Structure 1
Amino acid sequence: MTLWRIRATVDDRPGYLSVLTASLALRGVNILALQVHTTEAGAVDDFLVDAPDTIDEADLLAAVERGRGRDCWIARSEARGLVDQPTRVLGLATRLVRDPDATGEALRALLGADAVTWRPVRSAEAVGVDRARMRLADGVGGVFELSRPAPDFTPAEYARAQALVELAATAARRAAEQVTLVLPDGAELGVRPAGPDDLPAVLRLHEQCSARTLHRRYLSEAGRPSPDRLRRLLDPARGMTLVVVEADSPGTGESVGVDSSGAGESIVAMASLLGEGDQAEAALLVNDDQQRRGLGGALLRRLLAHADGAGYAAVDLHVHASNAPMLRMLHRLGRPLTLDRDGPLVTVTFPLAVRACPTGV
């Protein structure tokens, strides 16, 4: 038996696919996998088949034509073709999360392209599919161009490829946002944007914090917040959350911010900026063992810089009046601030320079 790939177009009408499969079955051809690509010209059916050794390309072409197929393309296949398309796409996506620079190789593997190039976008240049050529926007001012002799690309293949390119761009942005923070005592910690997958490590952080530290963060005697609330903090609708990871914990180093599972990382602090209207609210949680090392001030400076660039008018922090170390740290930031005390609660407000946001941003 021999493996073949067959791609043919049939009318997108009830029963037409069964006519084609019956024509192949009459010649002892076993269909191992099938993908259907909907196009304006009809349904493009992509088969992986196992055919008797006595059948050659001409026999398969004749079987397809008798089954009302047209625009047929046939080629020998290999055993790796037995891996179904969703499994192949997931494998390539995992590779891109770890190595966004491998986008070109992933596209070549996904689509069987013989040429993949990248270049800056020209003005008014369209992306999409033009028979055996494909153009994909990468989101950073460039475009990937792909080509192959046959068969023609389909809209479904374009959608899969564009999704991989966008995934790689997201992974690259997250890796670029990862920084190494050097504390005054010389220790190095990784700081990166948080995500929903960090929930297990953030739950461990809350378990390790003392009741006093949690009370100062959440200004409540309720103890640790619920997982649902933490999940919302890690992925806020407006704003951002940063997490601090020990430099020698699993998943850190060059891969911090790429492997976001959070399962093996040790998160020692988190800082949130939640936007509402033209103002934002900031909050910090630092593990007891990491306090008084300058970590809170470094995180707050990053949050204020982000809020300033995002166009917020001011940032508020709610601090318990007994939290003298926190109040001293806020004054040491060297920014203008106002304090408004209401019983045991002090609201510290940092006014920001308001900038007009560009239209459409």
Structure 2
Amino acid sequence: MTLWRIRATVDDRPGYLSVLTASLALRGVNILTVQVHTTEAGAVDDFLVDAPDTLDEAGLVAAVERGRGRDCWVARSEARGLADQPTRALGLATRLVRDPEATGEALRALLGADEVIWRPMPVTGGVTGTSMALPDPAGGSYELRRAVPTFTPAEYARAQALVELAATVIRRDPDRVTVVLPGGAELLVRAATADDLAGVLELHRRCSARSRQRRYLGGAGLPAPARLRRLLEPAEGVTLVATTTVATATAVAATVAGSGEGAGSVVAMANLLAEGDEAEAALLVRDDWQRRGLGTALLRRLVGHAERAGVAALLLHVHAENAPMLRTVARLDRPTAADRDGPVLTVTVPLVAAPVPGAVPVGPR
């Protein structure tokens, strides 16, 4: 037996769905799940079925058409398709409560979209065939596309509920989220306070001289506590810290005996210092947490904070040889300009009328 997804439109009249299911049953097709989407063109029935191996795509289409179905779409499915749709939606909602920056990825998983793009311009929401325009209550809008099948009003309503949930979480506490890195590690990202001074000092001690030099562009020594205290609570801007959670600290301790890693350890710091309509951004990630997606996640949050504050452009001063940081900037998927002064590049990232990654294919908003 083989799993298939079938979507077809039937007249929204009593008995028509039973005619379609009877036609499938005559060919040995077992219907595992069914969803009905009401549209102006009729009832769009979405089936997950288990069909005999001898029945191919053409045979399924013929069975649907004999059952008075039209506009048929058929595609192979996987075992994960057996997951109950409400259960999948609740799982994605739980993820957004922990990390609203993953809205784009959640939309792709919910709707099987090929592309999800977040744009700063508002739109009037709606569905046009295989494209969906979705207003973002937090500002801007999403554009979703997939090759097949066409989107339905029910799918639009589900997507709208997800983005409204993410926007509510962002409004509640825009600078405190649990970030899940690609490798599965969880970190708490939040706004720093003066109480983080000891943790940030330890972060600098556990960073290599090279990492400190790339962050501060000058000497590789430890910054004075007074300087770090000013960075933790800037007059204009924000400083974020990433700290380990209980689960992550336990996993690290199990992997590296005697690591001394505890819940609440500061493993990265991100600074946004604003002046006028521009802001400078800088990152410091502990060496053992580099190349794991943490820098990208922090920089995206700085961009979001700068946009909410009405900043027009973000500046980053980067050593020309600092390829990892330049790749992190490139992952923002925004137009940039770079000016070189000796070994240092000043990268300017415009924040007005430029697309921000909607998590697919680049990542979270």
Higher relative contact order at CA 8 Å, sep ≥6: structure 1 or structure 2? 2
TM-score normalised over the length of structure 1: 0.50
Query: Greater CA radius of gyration, 1 or 2?
Result: 1
